[in-house]
Amino acid sequence: MTLTIREVALEKLRKQISQGNPIIGSGAGTGITAKFAEKGGTDLIIIYNSGRYRMAGRGSLAGLMPYGDANAIVMDMGSEVLPIVKETPVLAGVCGTDPFRIMPNFLRQLKDMGFHGVQNFPTVGLIDGTFRTNLEETGMGYDLEVEMIREAHELGMLTCPYVFTPEQAVAMTKAGADVLVPHMGLTTKGSIGAQSNLTLEESAKKVQEMRDAAVAINPDIIVLCHGGPIAEPEDAQYIFEHTEGIAGFFGASSIERLPTEVAIEKQARKFKDLSI
């Protein structure tokens, strides 16, 4: 029997886990990021509108602002990234609350383009307060993102949603999520990272709570960690050592923006220090 793209991707991920290797997902805002993330051994490549803003020097939260059509941007980015990636599954960040898309049709478009799966981004999970309450009250809430994941799962796509609470972890697991990504908020560090956020200790506790809630529904679900103070490899190592059952890390700013900031500045300084 021929395996679906979802089954092939999951087989590769579970092989990594069985070998004791962490699953690493990389956000890619450009083709060159995707190309070299793959060469570095990343297991998943995820493209969404924030990647474009991030690599344009803007904060990742620009992806939640009305600066462009998030789903159209992802399709445009797909044309840049998909042809350059050779083996690694590529996921599309889908704005599940987009009221101008017939979501099953859009998901089929993404699948036909060559995307292996989806993630829910931009996500209202990053929004709180009165604005978030009003979004939920007016039919633009997180439940639409859960439904998008359910529809993608039914299409045989790999589903890797962001979750922010144990309740959302349960909902996404029941919807058919394959890989769950507890999100700790905007990544700290670097020139345009967040300044106020959770501690690593607090993050480990929250990640564990969401993982445990999901595993109670589906013991086979794969759970990664992402965001907030989990910015550098040593931060991810801390989470691995202070949690149980976390299979890896998904980094966007951590893998794309932070090393780019350091490398370009360092190289420019080396040239500037030359003697004439």
Cβ neighbours for 258, distance < 8 A, ≥ 6 positions apart: 187, 189, 190, 193, 231, 232
pLDDT (tens digit, 9 = 90+) per residue, 188-243? 655 444 555 789 999 999 999 999 999 999 999 999 999 999 989 999 999 999 99
pLDDT digits (tens, 9 = 90+) for 86-135: 999 999 999 999 999 999 999 999 999 999 999 999 999 999 999 999 99
Across the range 138-167, mean pLDDT stands at 97
Q: Confirm if 81 and 34 have CB atoms less than 8 A apart.
A: yes
CB atoms within 10 A of CB 219: 8
As a whole number of angstroms, the distance between CA 64 and CA 87 comes to: 30
